[in-house]
Structure 1
Amino acid sequence: MPYIEASVRHRQFVAAARSALARDGVGRTSLRAVANEAGVPLGTMQYVFPSKELLLRAVIEDVIEETAEVFRAAADLDGGLEHAVRRGIAEFWDRLVDGRSDLQVMQYELTIHALRTAGMNGLARWQYERYTAVIADWCQQAAQRAGETCAVPFAQLARLVVSSLDGLIMQYVCDPNPARSREDLEAVTAMLVGLAGVRREPHVVAG
């Protein structure tokens, strides 16, 4: 077998683990199962990830970064705060939720696993801190570029975006109904935009 750098193996095994976890869940996914998914001997897997917990930690970190990157890339910052919120939420749903219940179930399961596992509960907190920080950042940037103000702190608006999406995603994976989910997503987005109370900052006239 040709030599492959540990960093490449790391990515390969995380991808294989994500496939196995999405299909079989945390409880039924072992290092051996992931090694089989990746097409390598168990010993090769254990060289990079000596334990299942280390592998799950890497998967959680990978999923968090992927979701954060989607949030970061989704928003159009040049059309003002309302446009950014509407575009960001819609793009997130299209890319990571619609038709991807397996990903969302895996993500919830990993979050619960992190909360219940000693030494990993900080990952769950970091997950939500990461998401809200990214959203707060692009909300603030969009408002500043358009010369707008927001009626609530950007961090609070971001937390409510994340919590609203969490609820809609849970409903979607428990009872998939794309048309209903779209209607609810639009209604929630309208409520969030209303909460933001976007206003254009008054121009300051030099004396």
Structure 2
Amino acid sequence: MDIGDFQRRLDEIRAWRKLELSNARMLAENHESGNEVSYLCRAWTMMIYAHCDQSLKLIAKEYLSFLKEHPRSDYDYNTVWLCFFGKEAIRHISDNRYGLVGSETVEAKDRFISNIGGREVFDSANFSYKLLRFFTDWILQVSFDCGNYKAFCKTLKEKRDAIAHGEEIRIQRVEDCISWHDPAISMIDSLADASIDAALRHDVTT
């Protein structure tokens, strides 16, 4: 995978999601019935949450795939590995995994990235502010201002969880959904752009 492939893949990840979210917005804005608008807004809210969750994880997976082929000099491989697998290595006294600690070989870095990209990390949690911060700071290790999205993540997750659990949540105003829609688009674009910027920087040095 070269930088062009990586950028095209991230463009694909975000393009159809942005289109689908825009279609959901258009449907809600074009209905006048209160019951229909409430239903469409609930569906729209669930869609915003789902696309934020999957965009974050897919962008990170693509970046890790790029990182395997283009090692990054300032990527903290060891600390990430210790965070995810250090306890496991101690608990199971795995010489093979424990032996990776401190290693700077190409083989060790490749195994680090393969382990980080496993189900233990990507399937362990759903979208939230904490997950966003964890992925950007620890997995992507990119410059990204998570604080700008803290309130957005918190309120979106609260509303999504209530809807998903079958609680009687009514969203009567399209404007309420727009307050999540616009930050979601901004976040997805900013994540992709930050990852591309990081890839461009370390691709030049390898």
TM-score for the superposition, normalised by structure 2? 0.31
Higher relative contact order (CA 8 A, sep 6+): 2
TM-score for the superposition, normalised by structure 1? 0.31
